[in-house]
Amino acid sequence: MVNLTIDGRAIQAPKGKTVLEVADANGIFIPRLCYHPALKPIGACRICVVEVKPGPPRPLPACATVVNEGMEVVTNSPRVEEIRKELMKLVLINHALECPICDKGGECELQDLTHALAVDKVDLEAVKLAPNHDYESLFVERHPDRCVTCGRCIHVCRDHVGAMAINFMQRGYFTELGSGVLPLDCEFCGSCIDICPVGALINKLWKYRARAWEVDKTESVCPFCGGGCVYELHTKDDRILRVRNEESILLCSKGRFGFPVVEAPDRLKTPLIKENGGFREASWDEALDLVASKFQEIAASDAGAKAIYGIGSARATNEANYLFQKFFRQGLGTNQIDNPGRYTYIRALRGLGTVFGPPEVSGVEQSTALPQPYQSPLTPGAEAKGSGFPFVLGHFDDLPKADLALVLGADVTPEMPPLGWKLLRALDNENFRLVLANPRPTKFDRYAHLSLRYKPGTERILLSGIFKAFFAAHADYAPALSVKGLEEFKETFKKVTLKDVASKTGVDEALIKETAALLAQAQAPAIICGTELLAQDKGEQNAVALADLFLLVGKPGTPGSAVYPVAEKNNSRGVCEVGVLPGRLPGYVPIPEDARGMTLPEMLDKLEAGDPAAPQAVYMLGGDLLRALPHRSRTEKLLKKVPFLVVQDAFLTDTAKLAQVVLPVAVHAEQEGSFISSDGTLGVLPAVLSANGVRPDWQIIGQLGEKMGYKLGASHPKQVFRELAQNMPLWAGLGPKASGPVMPGEVSGTFVPFEADLSLPGRRPHTLIVGKVLNHNGSYTTHAPDGTLKLVPRAELSLNPEDAKSLGLAAGDTAKVVSSQGEISVPVVLSPEMPPGVVFLPEHFAEPPVHLLTLNSNLVRVTIQKG
């Protein structure tokens, strides 16, 4: 702590804080323009100048001056007030007086400052500059005549988003914000818009739709990726007008511009019942009665309740998923449920579970505090501790404390933007090392200290090489954790040679050795893996290999040292934790082997075999299985075989079209509930909009249960959350915005050998990777024509220009992509960064259906022809 005085007031402040921060903390207002708490001090505007003694005779900027012992600061001397006023006049010389139509009016920092400093007239004159307005760019509009050249947007874009899309052009009085190209070609995260103190950058979705003071602000949580960003919904007249993250400003394009999906034109409004091959609209009572009677009929038949299968949803809230599993377990008395995360996220959890064991928590007690909404009624006691795989999963806020991150098979920013922002924070630390392994270049390659470009499908071979090099160089390395089976595990790499690994993976031997050396040195290594790795047929083996690696080098007690598997959707983690799994109750409590239900792939296999145990009815809580699962033609054929399919979805998806009954559901802003983000943070979702005839998932399940005579206790999401959290010691102490599990973990594990083989059979010349693009999440965002669909409106095949040349294809041509499973036609885009022989297609779109090509993995060998 240091002692100083500000305006004569004696103040104690922590070391290293700036004068501005200390003044703010003590309620002393220093005018400022370019300073923003989320950014490092810029020091461009000099409005925050103060007199500092001892110090130079000139005034110093408060935002960039660190407090010292014995410092005397004067914030309001006539001299600094005169300087501020003069500076404001200089800023205002060329500022367009468009406040009545400027969308920033009312929340403009320049307006506020002009009032605060009582600048009533500008007696300076300068050449009027002709502004280069940018009206063409998508989502962002630029008004250079309103710019105050504070540089905030440039800093947020470069340091926090990592896009580096904008910078100043010209110098001095002629300085203006430029992007090099017009229209803007960037990530379209829009963070520059919300950090702009004035209206120089305008959100086009918000433009002219309301004045800043007219909106109601409600804190909510983003419904797209698993990042779980907390943001504010700004609503007026039952419509969302914009979303903002007031705290860190950062949101991605989906979060900021994806909300029009709520008003998508193809939203379902009424329940649909299939009759004579077509759908007819029905009342809620009629549709629910039909489902209830059909379910009762099947339960009473020879097949029994076991013949009804449930598929939960990673989009639905924890409460809806909890009631869903309760409907099956308590109502129907079976464990025939699963969720589509089986093809991605569950593989990571299973891999980690194999090595680190299932979660066990002890020392949890009933909380004595007054019950708060969405606060777990359990609390960890003084002796509380836990073990098992949830305790190696990391919190995003800790990632910047790691000193090494190994990113394997993850295109971090498209899959989960918040994780990318945290990686950029970690890169602030000069001792941090980033090792990036991916078959194709990603955004973080420019920051990576080591880039391993392996051939698609060779992840486990690469990892076996890393293990080999590790054990060769550090034969007596002692893991920080208590481990079992290390010697046997070492044995499995006896036959592995680095030369062989290098030739199979295409990664240089030296790079593998260097990676192993970095891993051995790391004091707080983090491992990040993505869906590109998990969606392979042997995704679980990949996860086991990574878990082994973390068991070897990980230091789970050290902040930042953790595993970060990317959860694809907002509640991918929650749907598993609340027990929508055939073999686990809420909180991953295991079910005896003989009572377990079928997994989703097993269910499909049974349908294919025509097994008598195959389900007579399938109840889906949402999700477009046809679009998300590999081998679409098979999935379609099998789902058509289901005699009675009930789909609860907001849209008439291809999967819903196969259903007998479709129940329209409320989407994120229309329903209350909670999500568990990828890092275990509880996000609470308030109901902001009216549901207009559709119903939230929890209510539909509750009403269906009521009609079938089950008491599910679905009175309100808050009540459901209380009941659910009461049953989950793993969630003890969890509350809104808290990250679980909160008790200290004691992690130990057993090394499990993995299969180091290539999971990409076939002979076709090109390898297709089916993956994700930045501006979409699942198929959800593709339903909103006003949202991010504008940025990426269709699927395009990314192809190396050399490959394209040899195939006779040019950008914009239509290519026919043929695999052993099927063929599709798709437009071509040339991307020089794609390695030769590797092509990429995004999975989000209905047309073309890329999963017609895949078999059991997101990788497939294909032949590309001119189509």
Partner 1 sequence: MIIPFIKGLATTLRHVFTKPITLQYPEEKRPVAPRWRGHPELTVNEDGRRRCVACTLCMVVCPSNAIKGIVAAEGSEHEKYPVAFQIDLTRCIFCGLCQEACPKAAIKLNNLYELAQYDKNLLYLDIDRATQKKSELRMADWL
In a 3-state reduction of DSSP, which class is residue 412?
A: helix
Measured from the CB atom, the residue of 133 and 484 that comes closer to partner 1 is 133
Q: How far is the CB of 173 from partner 1 (least distance, A)?
A: 25
Q: How far is the CB of 105 from partner 1 (least distance, A)?
A: 7
Measured from the CB atom, the residue of 97 and 475 that comes closer to partner 1 is 97
For residues 462-521, which are near partner 1 according to CB under 8 A? none
Q: What angle do CA 7, 11, 14 make, to 5 degrees?
A: 130
For residues 120-179, which are near partner 1 according to CB under 8 A? 133, 135
In a 3-state reduction of DSSP, which class is residue 131?
A: coil
**CA atoms of 499 and 483, how far apart (whole Å):** 29
Measured from the CB atom, the residue of 209 and 641 that comes closer to partner 1 is 209
Q: How far is the CB of 182 from partner 1 (least distance, A)?
A: 16
With CB under 8 A as the contact rule, the residue among 64, 66, 99, 589 that binds partner 1 is: 99
Measured from the CB atom, the residue of 214 and 755 that comes closer to partner 1 is 214
Q: What is the dihedral sign for C-alpha 145, 146, 151, 154?
A: negative
Measured from the CB atom, the residue of 100 and 832 that comes closer to partner 1 is 100
**CA atoms of 23 and 37, how far apart (whole Å):** 13
Measured from the CB atom, the residue of 57 and 100 that comes closer to partner 1 is 100
Counting residues that bind partner 1 (by CB under 8 A) gives 12
- For residue 848, whether the previous peptide bond is cis, meaning omega lies within 30 degrees of 0, is yes
Measured from the CB atom, the residue of 111 and 820 that comes closer to partner 1 is 111
With CB under 8 A as the contact rule, the residue among 105, 357, 559, 835 that binds partner 1 is: 105
In a 3-state reduction of DSSP, which class is residue 842?
A: strand
Instruction: Look up residue 531 and give its amino acid.
Output: T
In a 3-state reduction of DSSP, which class is residue 517?
A: helix
Measured from the CB atom, the residue of 174 and 208 that comes closer to partner 1 is 208
CB 766 within 8 A of CB 456: no
Q: How far is the CB of 200 from partner 1 (least distance, A)?
A: 15
CB 642 within 8 A of CB 618: yes
CB 456 within 8 A of CB 538: no
Alpha carbon of residue 459 to chain centroid:
23
Instruction: For residue 455, give every residue at least 6 positions away whose Cβ sits within 8 Å of its Cβ, in sequence order, or none.
Output: 439, 504, 505, 506, 767
Q: How far is the CB of 115 from partner 1 (least distance, A)?
A: 15
Measured from the CB atom, the residue of 19 and 110 that comes closer to partner 1 is 110
Q: How far is the CB of 211 from partner 1 (least distance, A)?
A: 5
**Lookup result for tokens 């300085």:** 175
Burial class (CB in 10 A: 0-12, 13-18, 19+), 844: buried
Q: Which stretch binds partner 1 (CB under 8 A): 93-101, 174-182, 652-660, 765-773?
A: 93-101
Q: Which two tokens stand for residue 392?
A: 């190696």
Measured from the CB atom, the residue of 8 and 100 that comes closer to partner 1 is 100
Measured from the CB atom, the residue of 54 and 100 that comes closer to partner 1 is 100
Q: How far is the CB of 239 from partner 1 (least distance, A)?
A: 12
Q: How far is the CB of 213 from partner 1 (least distance, A)?
A: 7
For residues 828-847, which are near partner 1 according to CB under 8 A? none
Measured from the CB atom, the residue of 174 and 213 that comes closer to partner 1 is 213
Q: Which stretch binds partner 1 (CB under 8 A): 97-105, 354-362, 561-569, 751-759?
A: 97-105
Per-residue x/- track, 197-216, partner 1 (CB under 8 A)? ----------xxx-x-xx--
Q: Which stretch binds partner 1 (CB under 8 A): 99-107, 328-336, 373-381, 679-687?
A: 99-107
**Lookup result for tokens 């025509």:** 610
User: Is position 9 an interface residue for partner 1 (rule: CB under 8 A)?
Assistant: no
DSSP per residue over 308-342, as a string?
EEEE--SSS-HHHHHHHHHIIIIII----EE-GGG
**CA atoms of 23 and 50, how far apart (whole Å):** 11
Q: What is the dihedral sign for C-alpha 319, 324, 325, 327?
A: positive
With CB under 8 A as the contact rule, the residue among 14, 82, 86, 101 that binds partner 1 is: 101
End-to-end CA distance of the chain: 71
Q: How far is the CB of 506 from partner 1 (least distance, A)?
A: 52
Per-residue x/- track, 784-823, partner 1 (CB under 8 A)? ----------------------------------------
Q: How far is the CB of 157 from partner 1 (least distance, A)?
A: 24
**SS3 sequence, 779-800?**
CHHHHCCCCHHHCCCCCCEEEC
**CA atoms of 337 and 322, how far apart (whole Å):** 11
- Which residues sit at the interface with partner 1, rule CB under 8 A? 99-101, 105, 133, 135, 207-209, 211, 213-214
